[in-house]
Amino acid sequence: MAKRDCRTFPPPFSGAGKGYLFLDCGAGRKLERLAGVTVSRPAPGAMGAPGLPRAAWRSADLDFARGIGWRGTAPFGWRLQSGPVVLGLKPAGEGHLGFFPEQLEIARRLAAGPPVPAGGRILNLFAHTGLITLRLASLPGGAEILHVDAAPGMVGRARENARLSRLERAPIRWLVDDALIFLAREARRRPGYDLLVADPPAYGKCKKGGDWKLERDLPELVGLAGRLLLPRGGRLCLTCHRPGWDGNRLASLAAAAGTGKIETFPLTLETPDKTRSLTAGTALFAVFSPGGR
């Protein structure tokens, strides 16, 4: 007779206040609450003095400092919920947790925007741990989604987040590939997409050797995106977090690739009382129209 396993395991973290709150910023850092856990970590754009007293910052459950790493212990089963999407959180290098709060606004706008038609196709590049992919997968219509990231670990975490969100049966293809290589291959096939989402980093390693550099490679990415979106009058959602890439510069790139309507806006984190804010990049929404403007 087999022995019973009598070990007990702690239950998953309940995540009181399961969502995200931006609490404060200043002195190159930001203070946030993620599913009930208060986190202090670097934010290069956080200028000036913090608004909250030092005691509020010192009481953070988790704290990240460059050259030192994380202080504190993440709760077991730490998960953040945004609408129908559940993301597993885990402290990692460079202060990352597997969640990028500025993507919440992108997910909201995409969910509220024009729906991708039934049988349509969506491409999500630099797709990280899957917040955008899963929010789009939760919408009615059943569009096919291609989730592409060069890091196998990120794709693995995104698939786990799909399971946590009960979206493991959604029509998503999970691909480990380099964005430019993938786009060039797709452009030769010319299948067309209805929506292309991209959140490129300033710098990154490529799966097949070499590297990604935003300053060098973003124009090529937007040009290839235009070739894939133009045949279907598709939409581009592009976010950029590097200083110097403002709305005008992004709009010029998109216009050169053949867009019609263009909208740009800053990605801003804001405290609930709206007294403190932090700009976390710029977003561009554009329609690629075969008829031009």
Rounded mean pLDDT, 198-210: 83
231 is in which domain, residue-wise?
103-288
Q: Average the pLDDT over 180-208 and give the result.
A: 89
Q: How confident is the model at residue 55 (pLDDT cuts 50, 70, 90)?
A: very high
- Does residue 121 surpass a pLDDT of 90? yes
Cα torsion 250, 256, 259, 260: sign: positive
Total domain count, the chain: 2
Q: Could you tell me which residues come within 8 angstroms of residue 58 by beta carbon, excluding any fewer than 6 positions away?
A: none
Q: What is the mean pLDDT of residues 68-72?
A: 95
In a domain, 1, yes or no: no
CB 284 within 8 A of CB 264: yes
Residue 4: phi and psi, rounded to 5, are: -80, 140
Same domain, 82 and 119: no
pTM of the model: 0.91
Contact in structure between 234 and 266 (CB atoms under 8 Å): no
Residue ending a domain, among 44, 61, 93, is 93
Q: Report which of 189, 108, 101, 201 is spatially closest to residue 146, judged by C-alpha positions.
A: 189
Whether 222 is covered by a domain: the verdict is yes
The better pLDDT of the pair 242, 293 is held by 242
Residue 275 has pLDDT above 80, yes or no: yes
Mean pLDDT for all residues in the chain: 90
Task: Tell me, yes or no, whether 119 and 88 share the same domain.
Answer: no
Clarify whether residues 158 and 282 are in a common domain.
yes
Asked if 154 and 184 sit in the same domain, the reply is yes
Structure tokens at 44: 């290069």
Instruction: Tell me the mean pLDDT in the region 108-121.
Output: 92
Q: What is the pLDDT of residues 155-188, one digit of tens each?
A: 999 999 999 999 999 999 999 999 999 999 999 8
Q: Say how many C-beta atoms besides its own lie within 10 A of residue 203's C-beta.
A: 12
Token reading at 77:
């089963």
**Element (H or E) spanning 103, and its range?**
helix 103-112
- Distance between alpha carbon 27 and the CA centroid of its chain, in Å? 25
Considering just the CA atoms, what is the radius of gyration of the chain in Å? 20
Residues 57 and 128 in one domain: no
Q: Give pLDDT, residue 4.
A: 37
